[in-house]
């Protein structure tokens, strides 16, 4: 045979099945393009000078792996549609005398053509759009852009390797399916029906129970750390429950419709309902896949958009004032008035030298430890903490009442055995508090507010502020003298002084002032008589770039991954419509022969599509609604507590996606109608 015989057969097979292959190749091109762009940004020199560049590169690297893994799984999924439609053609080749080896050579050249087109066009498109992506990312991060077009050889090499591996695996999988089928099975593969899954009531109810369990977890979790621990389990349960419910539940739904004679025995519904029941196992799996992809898109877009547009809220929560100083003292006795006054006067002197008059000051001493709080009992022995108790772990801060009154402008008084309590990101309503099973103190008052604290905002676990009459005597009374002394030796308890203020300076001056204050605190740290064990001095302005780098990177990555997942959802919908259109073509042809008009065909198609097409969108909306409380708790770990922003972003994201989904419905429903009505045929 001539050398070009098999390549020509392969090319003709792709060309004659362009309705199937064109969307598949375009998706492959899109995957290659997105993967290259992510890698290009990871290697880009333009990001090197941006704040948070290291974190951003790590996120982009993770995004690259996600796209590669998803491309492998999804292209295997969509390639199955192509193989199913082409099996009849390969069976015909086999009957005409072409053996499996020769069919394999055709498949090899088809894989080569698809890979060559996808890699070549995908890389060219990626290179062409990479600069636009870089400019967009730099703009999101509030950086300075350059307009020089560049190419990343490392990104090209890695992209080529990854997708060559993917296309090789796709070819081997297709070859396996052809070699394991005989000629007759191949020839009749497109007419082989599917039986509804057995025990569908059981699996349908099981799916509903699994989903109910996932929803219960999502709405019942109160603490951010619990949301983090349970998020993956809840997501897996939602995926499993969606597949069970869509596959088995849709079968039950079709059977219910078939039992309604007034509905079923109508031209608009008879063919559509019987067609759905005929292939509901595969149909339900496709709908479930679209539902899960839609949910992933909505969760990513709503959460990352909220973080990006709420970055100033997050920044102000983490750094309540423009300058935030904190010292760690060696002993509670080092928090004496002499040491604190010396540091305060030095800080004020330097601030005045920079032309700053500190205002909105926060100035207080506190002791900090971790505790396990259950039913009004606080256990401070860390050896008793485990993964089952994380939801009850608190970071506890002890504050003297004099410092509390000075900060809050109050005149609270406490007797021995009395405390004031403020719980942050938690609820504590007990009237007494017992520590380590020892003495019990009375909660004189539950406070409804406390000064903003970056420490509490940064903690993944809830925080509790306990106001005591005196720091040293109050701690000894609460946790016992022996535990107090042992805690000091083992660093279980740490002693702090914090001083925060606004400066009335511009950003550069704030950064310079913070640097000078750090040098001053370093002198106190090196002078043993002041008892300063360590220190920190953070400027809100100096950290602004890092926050925009982190949240801007998450937002950009969320947009890119959402585009990839939307590609996948659209292709699943398209192939579902095309595949089912060819399967239903003969049925509608018979119905036309017995008098069914084109108008009635259109009505029947609309009935079928409207019955099932919007199920994934409705399912995604329900998933998103129940996931809202859990995602909100997760956003608290990023210090975002703007519920209004998150709710508004979620609603807008869903509405925009719904409009796009409807647009896809109109396009794919027309493609289905053209096939089954005989108005347009595809060459075989």
Q: Confidence class of residue 249 from pLDDT cuts 50, 70 and 90?
A: low
So what's the pLDDT on residue 680? 45
Are the C-beta atoms of 354 and 513 separated by less than 8 Å?
A: yes
pLDDT at 513 over 60: yes
Nearest to 324 by CA among 521, 51, 87: 521
pLDDT at 544 over 90: no
So what's the pLDDT on residue 650? 93
Q: 659: Cβ–Cβ under 8 A, 6 or more apart, which residues?
A: none
pLDDT at 154 over 50: yes
Nearest to 332 by CA among 488, 490, 463, 436: 488
So what's the pLDDT on residue 199? 45
pLDDT at 598 over 90: no
Instruction: Name the phi and psi angles at 480, rounded to 5.
Output: 90, 140
pLDDT at 590 over 90: no
Percent of the chain whose predicted confidence (pLDDT) is above 90: 18
Helix (H, G, I), strand (E, B) or coil at 326: strand
Q: Confidence class of residue 163 from pLDDT cuts 50, 70 and 90?
A: very high
pLDDT at 684 over 50: no
Q: Confidence class of residue 62 from pLDDT cuts 50, 70 and 90?
A: confident
So what's the pLDDT on residue 131? 81
Percent of the chain whose predicted confidence (pLDDT) is above 70: 76
Higher pLDDT, 671 or 279: 671
Higher pLDDT, 350 or 450: 350
415-440 mean pLDDT? 83
Residue 542, sorted as left (phi over 0), alpha (psi -120 to 50) or beta, turns out to be: alpha
pLDDT at 271 over 70: no
So what's the pLDDT on residue 280? 55
257-281 mean pLDDT? 59
So what's the pLDDT on residue 450? 84
pLDDT at 4 over 80: no
CA dihedral angle for residue 601, residue 603, residue 605, residue 611, rounded to 10 degrees: -150
* Stretch among 113-122, 201-210, 638-647 having the lowest mean pLDDT: 201-210
pLDDT at 197 over 60: no
Length of the chain: 684
Q: What is the pLDDT of residues 374-413, one digit of tens each?
A: 878 888 776 666 555 666 788 889 999 999 998 888 898 9
Q: Confidence class of residue 145 from pLDDT cuts 50, 70 and 90?
A: low
Helix (H, G, I), strand (E, B) or coil at 435: strand
Nearest to 395 by CA among 371, 365, 376: 371
Higher pLDDT, 258 or 625: 625
* Stretch among 42-46, 120-124, 271-275, 416-420 having the lowest mean pLDDT: 271-275
So what's the pLDDT on residue 420? 92
Distance set, CA 276 to CA 217, 250, 280 (Å): 33, 9, 5
pLDDT at 683 over 60: no
Nearest to 130 by CA among 45, 190, 49: 45
Across all residues in the chain, what is the average pLDDT? Answer: 79
Distance from C-alpha of 33 to C-alpha of 130, rounded to nearest angstrom: 9
The predicted model scores a pTM of 0.74
Are the C-beta atoms of 119 and 163 separated by less than 8 Å?
A: yes
Q: 90: Cβ–Cβ under 8 A, 6 or more apart, which residues?
A: 103, 106, 178, 186
Higher pLDDT, 554 or 1: 554
Higher pLDDT, 75 or 45: 75
* Stretch among 136-145, 449-458, 655-664 having the lowest mean pLDDT: 136-145
Q: What is the pLDDT of residues 549-567, one digit of tens each?
A: 788 888 888 888 888 888 7
Would you list the domain boundaries of the chain? 1-192, 194-320+541-684, 321-540
pLDDT at 463 over 60: yes
Q: 524: Cβ–Cβ under 8 A, 6 or more apart, which residues?
A: 327, 342, 343, 346, 530, 532, 535
Q: Confidence class of residue 455 from pLDDT cuts 50, 70 and 90?
A: confident
Q: What is the pLDDT of residues 279-328, one digit of tens each?
A: 555 566 777 888 888 998 999 899 989 988 998 888 888 888 999 999 99
Higher pLDDT, 161 or 428: 161
Q: Confidence class of residue 499 from pLDDT cuts 50, 70 and 90?
A: very high
Higher pLDDT, 87 or 295: 295
219-239 mean pLDDT? 82
Q: Confidence class of residue 190 from pLDDT cuts 50, 70 and 90?
A: low
So what's the pLDDT on residue 583? 66
Q: What is the pLDDT of residues 203-215, one digit of tens each?
A: 778 888 999 999 9
CA geometry: angle at 400 spanning 395 and 402, to 5°? 145
So what's the pLDDT on residue 283? 67
Q: Confidence class of residue 136 from pLDDT cuts 50, 70 and 90?
A: confident
């Amino acid at each position: 045979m001539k050398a070009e015989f098999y390549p020509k057969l392969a090319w003709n097979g792709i060309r004659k099945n362009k309705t199937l292959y064109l969307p598949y190749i375009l998706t492959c091109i899109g995957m290659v393009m997105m993967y290259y762009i992510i890698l290009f940004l990871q290697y880009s020199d333009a990001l090197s000078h941006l704040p948070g560049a290291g974190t951003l590169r790590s996120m982009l690297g993770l995004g690259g792996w996600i796209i590669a893994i998803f491309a492998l799984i999804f292209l295997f999924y969509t390639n199955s549609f192509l193989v199913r439609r082409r099996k009849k053609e390969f069976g015909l080749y086999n009957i005409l005398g072409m053996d499996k080896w020769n069919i394999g050579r055709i498949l090899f050249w088809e894989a080569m053509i698809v890979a060559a087109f996808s890699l070549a066009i995908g890389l060219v498109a990626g290179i062409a759009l990479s600069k636009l992506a870089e400019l967009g990312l730099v703009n999101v991060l509030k950086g300075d852009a350059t307009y020089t077009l560049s190419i990343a050889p490392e990104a090209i090499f890695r992209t080529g390797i990854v997708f060559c591996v993917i296309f090789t695996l796709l070819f081997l999988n297709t070859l396996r399916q052809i070699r394991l089928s005989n000629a007759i099975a191949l020839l009749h593969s497109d007419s082989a029906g599917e039986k509804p899954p057995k025990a569908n009531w059981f699996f349908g109810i099981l799916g509903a129970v699994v989903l109910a369990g996932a929803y219960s977890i999502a709405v019942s979790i109160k603490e951010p750390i619990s949301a983090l621990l349970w998020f993956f389990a809840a997501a897996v349960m939602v995926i499993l429950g969606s597949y069970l419910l869509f596959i088995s539940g849709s079968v039950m739904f079709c059977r219910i419709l078939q039992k309604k004679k007034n509905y079923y025995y109508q031209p608009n519904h008879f063919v559509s309902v019987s067609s759905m029941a005929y292939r509901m196992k595969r149909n339900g799996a496709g709908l479930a896949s679209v539902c899960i992809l839609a949910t992933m898109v909505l969760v990513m877009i709503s959460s990352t958009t909220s973080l990006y547009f709420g970055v100033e809220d997050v920044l102000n929560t983490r750094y309540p004032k423009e300058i935030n100083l904190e010292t760690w003292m060696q002993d509670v006795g080092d928090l004496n008035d002499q040491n604190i006054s010396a540091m305060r006067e030095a800080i004020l002197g330097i601030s005045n030298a920079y032309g700053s008059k500190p205002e909105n000051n926060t100035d207080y001493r506190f002791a900090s430890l971790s505790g396990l709080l259950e039913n009004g009992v606080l256990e401070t022995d860390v050896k008793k903490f485990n993964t089952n108790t994380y939801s009850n772990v608190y970071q506890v801060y002890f504050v003297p009442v004099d410092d509390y009154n000075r900060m809050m402008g109050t005149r609270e008084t406490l007797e021995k055995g009395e405390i004031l309590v403020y719980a942050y990101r938690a609820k504590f309503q007990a009237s007494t508090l017992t520590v380590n099973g020892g003495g019990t103190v009375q909660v004189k008052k539950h406070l409804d507010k406390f000064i903003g604290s970056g420490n509490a905002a940064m903690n993944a676990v809830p925080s509790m502020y306990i106001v005591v009459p005196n720091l040293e005597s109050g701690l000894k009374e609460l946790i016992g003298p022996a535990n107090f002394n042992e805690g000091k030796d083992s660093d279980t308890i740490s002693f702090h002084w914090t001083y925060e203020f606004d400066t009335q300076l511009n950003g550069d001056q704030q950064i310079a002032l913070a640097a000078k204050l750090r040098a001053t605190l370093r002198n106190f740290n090196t002078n043993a008589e002041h008892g300063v064990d360590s220190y920190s001095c953070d400027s809100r302005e100096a950290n602004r770039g890092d926050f925009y780098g982190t949240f801007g990177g998450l937002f950009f990555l969320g947009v890119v991954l959402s585009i990839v997942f939307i590609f996948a959802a659209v292709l699943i919908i398209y192939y579902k419509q095309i595949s089912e259109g060819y399967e239903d073509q003969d049925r509608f042809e018979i119905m036309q022969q017995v008098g069914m008009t084109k108008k009635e065909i259109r009505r029947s198609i609309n009935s079928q599509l409207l019955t099932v097409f919007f199920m994934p969108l409705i399912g995604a909306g329900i998933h998103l609604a129940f996931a809202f409380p859990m995602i909100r708790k997760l956003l608290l770990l990023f210090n975002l507590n703007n519920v209004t922003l998150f709710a508004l972003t979620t609603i807008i994201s869903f509405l925009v996606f719904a409009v796009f989904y409807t647009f896809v419905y109109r396009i794919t429903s027309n493609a289905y109608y053209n096939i089954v009505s005989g108005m347009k045929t595809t060459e075989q």
